[in-house]
Each structure stands twice: as structure tokens, then as C-alpha cells.
Structure 1
Amino acid sequence: MNFILFDGPRRNHLLPFTFTRPVSEIRVGIMTLKERWEAYLKVSVTSLTEEYLSVKYPVNLEDLNIFIDASILPSDSLIKTIHSLKENEVVKSGDLIVAYSSASVRNSDELSSFTVIEFKNDLIQINNTWDIFDKNADILQSDFDFITKDRKSQPISDTNQLIHPERIFLEEGAKVEFSILNATDGPIYLGKNAEIWEGSLVRGALALCDNAIIKMGGKLYGATTIGPYSKVCGEVSNSVIFGYSSKGHEGYLGNAVLGEWCNIGADSNNSNLKNNYAKVRLWDYATERFEQTGLQFCGLMMGDHSKTAINTMFNTGTVIGVNSNIYVPGFPRNFVPSFSWGGASGFTAYQPAKAFDAAKVMMARRGVEFNEVEADILTHVFELTKKWRKY
């Protein structure tokens, strides 16, 4: 069978992260949504996404395909249902189109003629940006159980203090020394060549993905995911960093999501709780207004390639777009459009040519080329987001 993950109706609610990637490339728990489907299906899958992203993320169409909403997470029962699909059948959960089998891409109207298979079990779905951190604990636990089943951790150095070592797993090349690891409230997973430096305090759940680093004295807790090649220090609570990003110094990051190639300056902090303890509202690109999250704790959402200077402060429920640079004192407003340069005293447009120069240098430090494909994607995002920039 040929499996394709399509972006689905939640894509615009997952901006700014889906400006630069398909829904399937969102990381939550230990894996991306795509990696998780491939692990459960035991085959490679491709993504059906926006045309401007398709050069980097090409789709493979065959004579018969099974299309799956990428925002939905796999389960054993869902995998079984999907494997049983015949051509022109659709799996639905209420009004939600979960998956369908077809020779070609179909819209919802065309699927109305398909034979419906009702999926009655519970589904886990990433509906909004805040779901990425809010659902991270359960998903991280599920990923940990799946990845480590019938496997043995690499040895953990006896310089560390461990609580519930049976829930701590190190992949090949992972290192941790002179740190305290407490897996009472959730598992602790270190990917290949990940490192926790001396003096760190970790309270699970934690996923430190391949080649990621917690620097000396880091304090991490509350179902946190640090994606591949990222570096963190300071205090991090219930946050998800997709990969290749740095929060390398003191400062607080809580109930937050950072994309790739972000850099948080030293002593930068985000608030995750309103002074009046009210539920947090967050900018939603799909509705173009601030929507109620239903959460009392909600911090910072930051798109790819965005950066802060030292001592930057963010209000509760702040959304920063792609390739923005926040650098002046005070709290910037809680929605900053993509390609913005400035802060509390005002913004100007961050022109792509200058942004690309910075991206080339930053990515080269990690051995990754900033090529024409990346430039074309970001140029398209610059044009898409003009309407939100008033400068």
C-alpha cells in the first residue's frame, strides 16, 4: 500500500509552524507525526501539502493510495482499520475524515460518494498550536513505550543520581554525567549522541532527541521535548522545540513551542500565566483573531528562524511568526507577524535578503546548507504574510 499524509483542515490553525513544513513534520512527543506513522505502518510515507512546500516535501502518488489526515496520531486499532480499506472507502470519526483509499486526491465533496467506515475508538489529534505542548506528556509516554519495547538502555554513568532508572533510556552514544534524573512523573529518553552536561536537573517526562544537548546546570521538567541538534540551558517547562534551535543560556521557557533554527538570547523569559489567572487567548491564523485556548498556562509560539536578543520578555500567550527578530527592551505585542524586526517600541519589515544572509551563516554552523529551495519557501512566506505587517 502507498500511504500519504495530507495536511487536512487543521493546517491553518497550526500556523506559524506549517508556514515552513507540512503538518506531518510537526514534532510532538519523541517523533514527528510522519516518523510516528512510518514506525507504526513499517513503511515510508510521503506528504501532500501546499504547492510551495512540495519541492522540499514531494508526494508519491501511485495507482492506489491511502490518504491519512496528518494531524491524527496512529494507534493499533486505527492502523488495523486503515489496512482493511478498499478503494473508494473512507474512514470517518463523526464528521472528521480520518483516511480514505483512492487512485487520486479527493476533496470532501467527492468523498461523499465513498463507502463510510465509522471509527468508534478514541483519536488523538493535534488541532491547534497549543496542543503540541498540552498533549506532549501522553504522547511522549506512548512514544517511549513504543520505541523502548523489548530493548535495553545503554549503561548510565554512576556519577548520576537516578530515581526510577527503569524509566530512563539512553540510545547509542548518549551521555549524561553528574546530573539528577527523576523519572517519577514521566520517562526520560536520550536519543543517539544526545548529551546532558554536568549539574543538570531533569524531571521527566523528557525527550532529548538525537544530537541535542542540555548545557551545564539546565533545569528541565513537565513533559518537555528538545528536538535534534538543539541546545538548551536555563529553566524549561512543558515545552517542545522542533530541532536545530538554541536556548543556550539562563532564562525561562514554559508551555511553549519553538520551530527550527530559532535562537533565544541570554536571560530571555516568557510568561505562561496571566496575573489574574484567567484562561489564555492565543492568535489563530485561521480565524485571524485571538481564540480561547481553555488553558491557564500558555506561553510562547515561535515560528522557524525567529530570534531574540538578550533580556527579551514575552507576555503570556505570544505568537511570533517566521523569521522575526525581537531585540528591544520591553514586552512586544502578543502577535508578531513573520519577517518583523524590532520589539515593544515598534517594528519594521525584515527584508528576505538580510534574513537569508543570517540563515546561511546559522545553518552552516550545523553543517546544513541554506539552498534555493529554502529561500523559495521563505520568500513565499514573506509574500503570504504581508497582510499582517503594517510597516
Structure 2
Amino acid sequence: MIVFYDDAQARRFEPFATTRPLSEMRAGALLVRERWQLVLGASSTGFVSASHLDGFAEFDAPPVITDEVPAGSWLVNTRALPVIHTAPTGDALLIGDRVAAVRLAAPVPLSVLRDGQTDLASLTTCTTPVAVEGRWLAEVWDLIGSLVDQLGSDIPRLAQRWSLEALPQTAAPVVFGQHAIYVESGATIEPLSVFDVSAGPVLVRRGATVQAFTRVVGPCYVGVDSTVTTDRVAASSIGDVCRVHGELSTSILIGHANKGHDGFVGHSILGRWANLGAGTITSNLKNTYGPVALWTPSGVRDTGMQFLGTLFGDHAKAGIGLRLTTGCVIGAGANVFDAMPPKAVAPFSWGGGAPYTTFAVEKFLDTASRMMARRHVDLGADARAWWQQLHATGIADQRWPRS
């Protein structure tokens, strides 16, 4: 059994921490939860994060822990990303010089973990932790900064785990480069598609489609039932049930997100159920070629990254022709349709120009319900009630600028 723990730093990974635990973020080819399940060979039973996420429920994600973490459970820091390998032995795992996961000898009350301040090292009596290969996420932008390396590591290991054979170089698509292309049974690779695996491998999952006249540049992961079409898709991790049209570079789509039209998106993250209108374009490089600054809950900070686009929260919507400057943050549930929004847009904002009004909660819920129904997902009564609470929390969050 695995329980996922968001420490205080993970709870500041906005705009995503408003609506989801870090275990349900995509890091490399997999959700953080999926990665640890493979490494530990165990199922997930729950998560511990900020109290506003107590009602989080999504597909096969485990629920919040409400009482205590049972003895015998693995307790995992969600900012730790182990390399996919066979399950390690031992009761404490180190990545670098920090404890990333512990197997609990005794139950741990929820109160010990609730504020995110507990170091997992304090919860183990193991004197010889086992070192495992991996990395830590220090900031939300590390998901992008480490993406290329993470995909290059993940894809061949996942192919081995899932017993996928590399596509022959003589297959119908045009292939450049020396790395492998893995195509799961049930995927569709149309003729006249191009795979450039000069810089890394490609993995296309079951039910996914790579349409003709698409150039897929590795390392790249295309998730279950997703479609990529008619442009260059490079060094990206595309989750399940996504639509990608137009140029996409070094970006993450958590899942069920739509970039259905032309427009460049680079070094960006699209939350679940995000939708980009036709012609939405992100800038990912400043005219000065200097490091990108980004809004965070502790103020605008220098990321040290030369390339960084936009972080779109869950259910964020961008109108047609939107132009986003380098290092933008669009809060969860925001629906904006002006020419160029400010660099930080608060959750559940609405409008065609700043200062924005509030996206009315019933209108937001109706929009979310209609979008989800198009992917055969129901926004049930419990989910509607939880999103109503999140809406109230989001519009009251004074950390965000209100332009």
C-alpha cells in the first residue's frame, strides 16, 4: 500500500496545487502516482495534502487519508521522482541525500502530516536507507526543466516493463535517428507521418493516433486514446485522451486536455480539462534571451530557465487568438479571451480584458460538465459540490494578483 504525501513545498506548486495533489501531476511519461506504483510494486490507498483537496476524486486516483496512515504502508514524498526500476528492498529509500519514501513500522496520525512540515526521515527507525536513482522537484517549473531527461529515461524502461518491441526502421512511417519507436498494440500510425528519434525515443500508447503529416520528435510520449495531428510535436508528454494540433514543444498535458488548433505552445503545462482556442500562442523565450520570471505564491521569482511558457491550471480556457507572454500562470477554472492577458491570472477569472470579473460558479460548472461529457465523463453531484468549494477558495485566495 502506498500513501502520497505533499510536503509544504509541494503545496505551493501553483496553479495546480489549487485543484490536485502532486501525486496526480504528470512528471515525465507518468503521473507521479503511477511512477511510484511501478517502482514499489504496490497499489495506492490515499494521499495527504492541503485540506482544500479533501474532496479530490479523479478516475483511479486514491482518496484523501482521513484518519491515520496504517503501519506497513509506504509513505512517499511526492516531490521525489525515482527512476523506473525493480522494487528496492529496505524500509527507507533515499534519492540523493534525502529520504523519499519510508515503510511505516507504526501508524502515523493524519495530524502529524497535515501541515506538510514533517520530514519523512523522522518517521523511520531504519538505520541503513537504500539509495535509489532519481531526482527531486524543488519548484513547479522543474517539471518542464527535467522533462527531456525524464522522458529519455522513462520511455525505454516502460517499453521493457510492458514488453513492447521497437518499431522496425523499415516500417511505414518515415524514421530518422538511432533511438527506438515503441507502439503499443491498438495504436494507429498513419502513413506519411514522420518520427525523428535523433535525440530520444518515442512511445505511442494503445488507442492513440498519430495522423498523417505529423512530425513526432523524440523523446516523446503519447498517451492512451490521444491524437496528435498535422504539425511538429517534440519532446513532450501527452497524457490520456488529449487532442494536439499545431506545434507543441517540450510541454506536458496531464490528460483530457485540448490543443485542437494551430498555434505554438512551448515549455508549458496544460492541466486536466484545459482547452486552448484556435491561434493560442505561448512565448517561451524572452527577447533578451535572459532567465524567465514566474509568479509564485511567494511572489514573482527568477526561475533560472531560459525557456518557459505558460502553466495552465485545470479547466483553464483560452479564447481564440490569445497571446501569452513568457512565463505566464493561468489559474484553475479561468476563462479569458482577450488579446494578451497579464502574466498571472487568478483562479476562476472571466473576461475579455483585465481587470477580470469572476467566472460565476454555476456557469463554470455547466461549462465543465459539457466539456467532460464530450469525453464521456460525468461531473457528478459530489464533484460539483467539491468544485463549488474550490471556487470559493480560489476567488478568496489573496496570494494571486487581481489586475
Does the pair score TM above 0.5?
yes
Question: For residue 84 of structure 1, what is the aligned residue in structure 2?
Answer: 90
Quick check: 2:10–2:78 contact (8 Å CA) kept in 1?
no
1:367 aligns with 2:376: yes
Choose the corresponding residue for 1:174, options 170, 187, 191: 187
Quick check: 2:99–2:120 contact (8 Å CA) kept in 1?
no
Change (3 A) 1:93 1:310: same
Quick check: 2:84–2:157 contact (8 Å CA) kept in 1?
no
1:133 aligns with 2:139: no
Quick check: 1:175–1:193 contact (8 Å CA) kept in 2?
yes
Question: For residue 282 of structure 1, what is the aligned residue in structure 2?
Answer: 294
Quick check: 1:153–1:171 contact (8 Å CA) kept in 2?
no
Quote the offset at 1:127 in angstroms: 2.3
Q: Secondary structure at the match of 1:346?
A: coil
Note the alpha carbon deviations across 1:77-107, whole angstroms, 9 max, x for none.
Answer: 8952xx412xxx786854x442332411445
Quote the offset at 1:249 in angstroms: 0.8
Change (3 A) 1:368 1:114: closer
Change (3 A) 1:38 1:225: same
Question: In the aligned structure 2, how far is the partner of 1:77 from the partner of 1:220?
Answer: 28
Choose the corresponding residue for 1:270, options 270, 279, 282: 282
Question: In the aligned structure 2, how far is the partner of 1:264 from the partner of 1:113?
Answer: 44
1:99 aligns with 2:104: no
Q: Which amino acid aligns with 2:227?
A: I
Question: For residue 174 of structure 2, what is the aligned residue in structure 1?
Answer: 161
Quick check: 1:349–1:389 contact (8 Å CA) kept in 2?
no
Choose the corresponding residue for 2:159, options 144, 148, 154: 148
Question: For residue 326 of structure 1, what is the aligned residue in structure 2?
Answer: 336
Quick check: 1:271–1:315 contact (8 Å CA) kept in 2?
yes
Quick check: 1:92–1:117 contact (8 Å CA) kept in 2?
no
Matches for 1:1-391 after TM superposition, within 5 Å? 2-46=1-45, 47-55=47-55, 56=57, 57-59=62-64, 61-75=69-83, 80=88, 83-85=89-91, 94=97, 96-100=98-102, 101=104, 102-105=106-109, 106-107=112-113, 108=118, 112=122, 114-115=124-125, 117=128, 123-149=134-160, 150-153=163-166, 158-164=171-177, 167-177=180-190, 178-215=192-229, 217-221=230-234, 223-285=235-297, 287=298, 289-329=299-339, 331-385=340-394, 386=396, 387=398, 388=400, 390=402
Q: TM-score, normalised by structure 2?
A: 0.86
Q: Which moved more, 1:371-380 or 1:38-47?
A: 371-380
Change (3 A) 1:375 1:188: same
Identity score, percent: 28
Q: TM-score, normalised by structure 1?
A: 0.89
Question: In the aligned structure 2, how far is the partner of 1:319 from the partner of 1:299?
Answer: 9
Tell me, which stretches of 5 or more residues in structure 1 are unaligned?
none
Quick check: 2:80–2:95 contact (8 Å CA) kept in 1?
no
Question: In the aligned structure 2, how far is the partner of 1:334 from the partner of 1:74?
Answer: 33
Quick check: 1:28–1:132 contact (8 Å CA) kept in 2?
yes
Quick check: 2:156–2:201 contact (8 Å CA) kept in 1?
no
Q: Which moved more, 1:316-325 or 1:55-64?
A: 55-64
CA RMSD in angstroms, aligned pairs only: 2.6
Q: Secondary structure at the match of 2:140?
A: coil
Note the alpha carbon deviations across 1:325-370, whole angstroms, 9 max, x for none.
Answer: 11122x2110000000124443101111110000110000000001
Q: Which amino acid aligns with 1:276?
A: T
Change (3 A) 1:345 1:191: same
Note the alpha carbon deviations across 1:110-163, whole angstroms, 9 max, x for none.
Answer: 964854556666641222221112111111122212111153257799442112
Q: Secondary structure at the match of 1:369?
A: coil
Change (3 A) 1:120 1:382: same
Note the alpha carbon deviations across 1:262-310, whole angstroms, 9 max, x for none.
Answer: 110111101111111221111112x1x0111100111100100011111
Question: In the aligned structure 1, how far is the partner of 2:77 from the partner of 2:86?
Answer: 12
Change (3 A) 1:9 1:50: closer
Change (3 A) 1:160 1:377: same
Question: In the aligned structure 1, how far is the partner of 2:315 from the partner of 2:9?
Answer: 23
Question: In the aligned structure 2, how far is the partner of 1:39 from the partner of 1:315?
Answer: 38
Q: Secondary structure at the match of 2:350?
A: strand
Question: In the aligned structure 2, how far is the partner of 1:356 from the partner of 1:77?
Answer: 41
Q: Which amino acid aligns with 1:352?
A: V
Quote the offset at 1:375 in angstroms: 2.1
Question: In the aligned structure 1, how far is the partner of 2:188 from the partner of 2:85?
Answer: 36
Change (3 A) 1:335 1:159: same
Question: In the aligned structure 2, how far is the partner of 1:110 from the partner of 1:309?
Answer: 43
Tell me, which stretches of 5 or more residues in structure 2 are unaligned?
none
Question: In the aligned structure 2, how far is the partner of 1:28 from the partner of 1:112?
Answer: 26
Quick check: 1:325–1:342 contact (8 Å CA) kept in 2?
yes
Q: Which amino acid aligns with 2:242?
A: S
Q: Which moved more, 1:32-41 or 1:142-151?
A: 142-151
